[in-house]
Structure 1
């Protein structure tokens, strides 16, 4: 039986991609007067894992880009802009998480996000009213699909992995969780409709 749930954030609880495009970036060029492709190259370069795992502050590559292109508002303002437009909760998942909370099911967000985004999720979104914690790679110092990430999440839930459900939209993360004894559900447009019914009985996960 499933006694606790760890939710991925972007792509599961946060519906941030539509038709292969990031919603936050839709009006980036109109709003900033700068190239989206140039921003993405500068910020999401090979070293971005250092940001995701907390070894480098997100503001550093963003500030470097701002200086290079002459973006006057600066890095902090641009990060605020980015995070606000990336706050696109999935209404169906909000309802599901709220229902599970009402039933007393422990739930956490387990995300590959840097610490600034985790703080934004905690302080500026409504998710903390529904989940017990936000566990992010930027604060844990390790990211999915590393076993150490799942060990940290399992410890926070205080439930054996075999009784935890991990829900993620990335297959490699789902497979890693299963290899460590978790129940896991691969969340995709094709499988998502099966999740509420499966959780109604809180039986073994079948998705993906």
Structure 2
């Protein structure tokens, strides 16, 4: 058995691991429009053009690991903003979408200190996943990360949750999960996870009472 499963077997009422979403949970942008809110003023890139030329036709392949971010972003920028390099946009994006919820992170640290490992379960492509883990140093606060480009599937597809279960070698009933998207929560519950919808101001012990055991 894995160490996670051993710990859960000792106290099957308590989750063996807590899975945590990133965007909207650990990272919450103060502007409802997100990191692109001022992109035209700051970089001269029209938001509708970026959406139409890059995100709509390319993002599905990028976020599922079928294409590299820069391979799809570079030709899009060449058309809509030739004065902006891939590095400039990626730095603007990642640095502008890095607002950590320190209050939640403190609460999560208490959960981790109680013996429940913390994992990130998130829809990311490879470069931002690395930025979150290494540059923002979420690796210091979490024990592992499972993300879409790595798994080849994204929430709320059942394949995402099944792939996470396989990676951690745990039964669905041993996994707790918080996410700010109701569809993602419902899909996790359908797999048998103990899942709760995260909203700002909520507390983990209220959403997942098993964490208190």
TM range (shorter): 0.7 to 0.9
Aligned to 2:211: 202
User: TM-score normalized by structure 1?
Assistant: 0.87
2:113 to 86, 94, 102: 102
Gaps of 5+ in 1: none
1:131 to 113, 137, 142: 142
Q: Which string of whole-angstrom CA distances, capped at 9 and with x for unpartnered residues, describes residues 97-116 of structure 1?
A: 21122222111111111111
Gaps of 5+ in 2: 1-12
Instruction: Note if contact 2:205-2:211 (Cα within 8 Å) is conserved in structure 1.
Output: no
Aligned to 1:79: 90
Q: How many residues align?
A: 200
1:13 to 26, 38, 54: 26
Aligned to 1:185: 196
User: TM-score normalized by structure 2?
Assistant: 0.85
Q: Distance in 2 between matches of 1:70 and 1:138?
A: 26
Instruction: After TM superposition, give the deviation of residue 127 of structure 1 in Å.
Output: 1.1
Q: Distance in 2 between matches of 1:175 and 1:198?
A: 14
Q: Distance in 1 between matches of 2:207 and 2:94?
A: 32
Instruction: After TM superposition, give the deviation of residue 199 of structure 1 in Å.
Output: 4.8
Q: Which string of whole-angstrom CA distances, capped at 9 and with x for unpartnered residues, describes residues 103-155 of structure 1?
A: 22111111111111111111111311011112110111111122221122223
The structure with the greater share of residues assigned to helix is 2
Across the aligned residues of Structure 1 and Structure 2, the Cα RMSD in angstroms comes to 2.1
